[in-house]
Every structure is written in structure tokens, then in C-alpha cells.
């Protein structure tokens, strides 16, 4: 009779505990899902393409590159001004306290041959105005440097393109790092809710004498560890989001969170695996080619300095000679002079300056050629390593996906066995820890795969596909 009366009480109480646990878990999951949905509705989710667009629009690096491009255009206009005529006007007012002396032949004044008479010419006060016009007609060095204008412009365009590539890569990398940290937080929150439910159940069992204090303490330790990890993730997410806002030009207090569907993160793997390397199309390679071309043009322009240069000129002068400083005296006469002609400059010897400078330019060209060869090999190495990382990440994602499924299945079975009193709390906590680690490893591999895709696109010179 005693056994019959106790047995129903034990079974009834365990059923009561199981029912209470299911209710608590249902409430936690429901409230957690509702809060998560509420946050996702009200938070401003930003896709990768939107982030890249904002980053390009607000990038200081790109703005400075564009300003450098504008400065180049102004310098090119400044260089073209060398072909235009130059006009200079001057006005001078001079006082000669001692006039220069000239010697005149004495025979002009009836003196003996071989004698000279000193004479002073001019007036102490001299007012002179002049205008000079010069027009270059031929300059071989300038003519040879004309093609370098388009080459230089192309170099700055490539620098702008390279800056854009860097902004795209860095923004996308930060986007996925932020997304990874947020996903790890979601996985940790789910595990934290499970530990919290387990802790409430253990405390209830302890209160009714079906558990020991050590079990409750173990759960509290696990809960505290997860809470500490959660705080670290929250701090990391805040820092990453602030950096994203800074890059995208958003207000630091605005809601801004990256968003991307991760239901099947490796569904696009075949697309990325089909990408082929085109090192000659890379911006860095084209930039080196343009620099090599500019180097050759500089050598040709330098040797053009050895050719004669021709320019036309015209000048006119008006001069007034006065005894005093009264420049408003209208009675004083003005004397004019004008000249028109051509001036031919023929370089004869410059101390081997051109030869030395040309030798330096040729050495610089050899260095550029060596950089180009090294770049081609480095691009191939970077691409091969990125392909290997992509393949490894893809395999790791699939393996971790299966591992998470197994760990979740073990936790579910041990949870049922623990409720029935068959499994120990230590086994359940170990299984829960293994599940948490498996989920963390899974999401880390997911975003390692995303970053491997970015590195592959950067190595192939096709990062602009993401825009």
C-alpha cells in the first residue's frame, strides 16, 4: 500500500516538472523570437550592395583620388600654356646721380687722330616703358612630351580605380565580419536560453529534493561563461557597427545593421569556382604598363632637349629723359624703339646632364619591368591560394553543418534522458558545450567562406562584381 501511494506522487511530480520545462522553454523561445523579429523590423537592415554604394559615395580615399585627378587636369592645362605667347609689360623710373661716360673720337671735333673726348649722355631722370611678346615656334622636347598627357591621365584613372577596389574589398570584409559577429551572438543567445531553462529546471528539482547543489552550481558556471561571451560579442558588434557607420557616412546614433540571407551560404559556390585569373586585366598590372610607357616618353622628351628651339619675339620701348622728377611735365619728349625678330637656341654642351638623366630613367624602367614580372607571378600565387582557401572553406562549412546536426541530436536525446533521470547533468552540459562550439565553428567557417570569396575576387581583379 505504501509503494502504491508513493509511486503516483513521484511520476506525477516528474510529469509536472517536464510540463513546466516545456512551458518555460516555449515561453522563452516565443518571447525571444518575438523580440528578435521586433528588432529586425525596426532596425535598418543594410545589404552588401547598399553598404558598398554608401562606402563609395562617402569614401575620403576616393574623394582624394578624384581631387588628385582634378589637380592633374590643371597641371596639364598649365603645361599646355607653354605653347601660347607670353606678353610682358614693364615701367621703370630711374635716377642716375652720376651719368655714364662715353669716349668719342677726337677727330670728329677737329682734334688729332687717336685722341678721345669724354662725354656724358642722357639725363639724370629716365622714365622707360616697354612691352615684349614671345611666341614659341618649335620645341622638339615639348612636341615629344605631348603623348605623355594621355598616359598620365590614364595613370590617374587607374589610381582611382585601384582606390575603388580597395574601398570595395575593405567594406565587404568589414560587412561580413560584422555579420559573423552578429550571427555568433544569435547562436550564443539560443544556447544561453537553453542553459537558462536547464538552470530553472535544476533549481526546481533541487527545491524538491531531486537534484544536488553541485549540479545547480555547474549550470550557473556554464551560464556565467556564456553571459561573459555574450558581453564580449555585444561590445565587438557595437565597435564593428560604429566602423561600418563611419565608412558608409551614417550618423553614429542611427540604426544600421548588415543583413544577408544565410539559409544556404554555399549555394553560389559553383559561380565563384568558375572564375578564372586574368592578371593582365588587373588594375595594378595596367598601372605598371602605363608607367613603363610614360618612362619611355620621358626618355624621348629628354633627348628632344638636344634639338634647337625657335621662337619669335617683338618688343617696343618708350623712354623719356628728364632733368628733374616731374613725370607730369608734358613738354618732355618721348623717344621710341621697336624690334621684331626670331631667336634660335642651339644647345651645344650641358655637361652630359641629358645622358646622365636618361641613364637614370632607363634604370627606373628596368625596375618597373621587374615589378611587372613579379606582379604577374604574385597575382598567380594570390589567386591559387585564394582558390585553395575557397575550396577548404567550402568543405569545412559542409563538415561543420553535419557536425552541428549531430551535436544538436545528441543534446536533444540527453535532455530527454536527463528529464527521465537516466543521463547525468555532466553529460548534458558537455553535450551542450559541444553544440555551442559546433555552432560557433560552423558560423566561423561560413564567414571564412565569404572572406575567401572576397579574396578570390580581389586576386582575379573582379571585386566590382559585388556592386
Mean pLDDT by 10-residue block, N- to C-terminus, for the chain (467 residues)?
35 40 38 38 70 92 93 89 91 89 85 87 89 93 89 93 92 91 87 82 75 78 87 92 90 85 81 86 90 94 92 92 79 88 92 92 95 92 93 92 91 84 80 85 90 91 86
Q: CA 197, 202, 205, 210 torsion: positive or negative?
A: positive
Q: How many CB atoms lie within 10 A of CB 302?
A: 19
Cα-Cα-Cα-Cα torsion 258, 263, 268, 270, nearest 10 degrees, comes to 150
Neighbour-count burial for 189-212, b at 16+ CB within 10 Å, e otherwise: bbbbbbbbbbbbbbebbeeeeebe
Characterize the bridge pairing of strands 257-258 and 45-46. parallel
Query: In Å, what is the CA distance from 284 to each residue of 305, 340, 381, 458?
Result: 32, 52, 15, 11
Give the 3-state secondary structure percentages of the chain, helix then strand then coil, rounded to 5: 70, 15, 20
State the cell numbers at 414: 540527453
Characterize the bridge pairing of strands 101-105 and 45-46. unpaired
The pLDDT value recorded for residue 464 is 86
How many angstroms from the chain centroid is the CA of residue 224?
41
Residue 234 CA to residue 334 CA, distance in Å, equals: 89
DSSP string, 87-109: EEEEEEEEE-SS--EEEEEGGGG
Backbone angles phi, psi at 279, to 5 degrees: -65, -30
Backbone angles phi, psi at 327, to 5 degrees: -75, -10
SS3 346: coil
Residue 223 CA to residue 198 CA, distance in Å, equals: 10
The pLDDT value recorded for residue 290 is 94
Q: How many CB atoms lie within 10 A of CB 88?
A: 10
Nearest to 467 by CA among 67, 159, 64, 167: 167
Residue 33 CA to residue 177 CA, distance in Å, equals: 24
Rg (CA), the chain: 43
Characterize the bridge pairing of strands 116-120 and 101-105. antiparallel
CB under 8 Å to 52, separation ≥6 — which residues?
168, 171, 172, 466, 467
State the cell numbers at 49: 550592395
Nearest to 183 by CA among 442, 399, 453: 442
323: left (phi over 0), alpha (psi -120 to 50) or beta: alpha
The pLDDT value recorded for residue 218 is 80
Instruction: Determine contact, residues 75/153, Cβ cutoff 8 Å.
Output: no
Residue 304 CA to residue 141 CA, distance in Å, equals: 4
The pLDDT value recorded for residue 23 is 37
Q: How many CB atoms lie within 10 A of CB 443?
A: 24
Instruction: Determine contact, residues 138/263, Cβ cutoff 8 Å.
Output: no
Residue 118 CA to residue 105 CA, distance in Å, equals: 9
The pLDDT value recorded for residue 366 is 96
Residue where the block lists cell 559615395: 57
Instruction: Determine contact, residues 238/255, Cβ cutoff 8 Å.
Output: no
Mutual angle of helices 48-58 and 213-248, in 10-degree steps: 50
| Planar angle of CA 8, 14, 19, nearest 5 degrees | 120
Nearest to 143 by CA among 301, 257, 292: 301
The pLDDT value recorded for residue 44 is 57
DSSP state of 112: P
Amino acid at each position: 500500500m505504501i509503494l502504491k501511494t508513493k509511486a503516483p506522487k513521484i511520476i506525477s511530480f516528474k510529469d509536472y516538472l517536464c510540463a513546466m520545462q516545456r512551458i518555460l522553454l516555449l515561453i522563452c523561445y516565443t518571447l525571444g523570437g518575438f523580440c528578435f523579429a521586433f528588432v529586425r523590423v525596426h532596425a535598418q537592415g543594410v545589404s552588401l550592395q547598399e553598404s558598398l554604394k554608401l562606402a563609395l559615395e562617402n569614401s575620403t580615399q576616393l574623394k582624394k583620388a578624384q581631387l588628385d585627378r582634378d589637380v592633374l587636369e590643371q597641371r596639364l592645362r598649365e603645361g599646355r600654356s607653354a605653347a601660347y605667347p607670353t606678353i610682358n609689360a614693364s615701367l621703370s623710373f630711374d635716377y642716375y646721380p652720376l651719368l655714364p661716360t662715353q669716349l668719342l673720337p677726337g677727330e670728329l671735333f677737329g682734334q688729332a687722330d687717336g685722341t678721345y673726348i669724354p662725354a656724358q649722355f642722357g639725363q639724370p631722370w629716365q622714365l622707360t616703358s616697354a612691352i615684349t611678346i614671345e611666341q614659341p615656334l618649335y620645341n622638339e622636347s615639348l612636341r615629344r612630351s605631348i603623348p605623355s598627357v594621355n598616359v598620365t591621365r590614364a595613370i590617374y584613372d587607374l589610381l582611382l580605380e585601384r582606390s575603388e577596389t580597395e574601398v570595395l574589398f575593405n567594406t565587404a570584409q568589414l560587412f561580413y565580419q560584422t555579420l559573423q559577429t552578429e550571427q555568433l551572438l544569435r547562436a550564443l543567445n539560443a544556447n544561453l536560453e537553453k542553459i537558462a531553462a536547464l538552470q530553472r529546471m535544476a533549481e526546481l528539482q533541487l527545491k524538491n529534493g531531486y537534484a544536488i547543489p553541485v549540479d545547480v552550481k555547474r549550470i550557473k558556471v556554464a551560464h556565467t561563461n556564456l553571459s561573459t561571451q555574450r558581453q564580449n560579442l555585444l561590445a565587438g558588434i557595437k565597435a564593428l557597427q560604429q566602423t561600418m557607420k563611419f565608412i558608409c557616412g551614417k550618423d553614429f546614433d542611427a540604426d544600421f545593421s548588415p543583413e544577408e540571407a544565410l539559409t544556404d551560404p554555399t549555394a553560389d559556390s559553383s559561380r565563384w569556382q568558375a572564375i578564372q585569373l586574368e592578371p593582365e586585366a588587373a588594375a595594378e598590372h595596367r598601372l605598371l604598363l602605363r608607367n613603363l610607357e610614360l618612362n619611355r616618353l620621358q626618355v624621348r622628351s629628354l633627348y628632344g632637349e638636344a634639338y634647337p628651339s625657335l621662337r619669335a619675339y617683338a618688343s617696343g620701348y618708350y623712354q623719356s629723359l628728364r632733368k628733374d622728377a616731374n613725370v607730369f611735365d608734358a613738354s618732355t619728349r618721348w623717344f621710341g624703339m621697336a624690334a621684331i625678330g626670331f631667336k634660335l637656341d642651339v644647345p651645344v654642351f650641358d655637361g652630359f646632364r641629358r645622358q646622365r638623366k636618361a641613364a637614370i630613367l632607363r634604370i627606373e624602367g628596368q625596375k618597373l619591368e621587374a615589378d611587372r614580372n613579379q606582379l604577374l607571378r604574385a597575382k598567380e600565387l594570390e589567386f591559387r591560394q585564394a582558390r585553395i582557401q575557397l575550396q577548404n572553406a567550402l568543405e569545412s562549412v559542409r563538415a561543420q553543418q553535419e557536425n552541428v546536426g549531430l551535436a544538436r541530436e545528441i543534446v536533444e536525446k540527453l535532455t530527454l534522458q536527463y528529464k527521465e533521470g537516466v543521463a547525468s547533468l555532466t553529460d548534458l552540459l558537455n553535450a551542450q558545450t559541444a553544440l555551442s562550439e559546433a555552432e560557433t565553428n560552423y558560423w566561423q567557417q561560413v564567414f571564412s567562406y565569404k572572406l575567401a570569396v572576397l579574396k578570390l575576387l580581389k586576386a582575379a581583379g573582379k571585386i566590382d562584381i559585388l556592386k
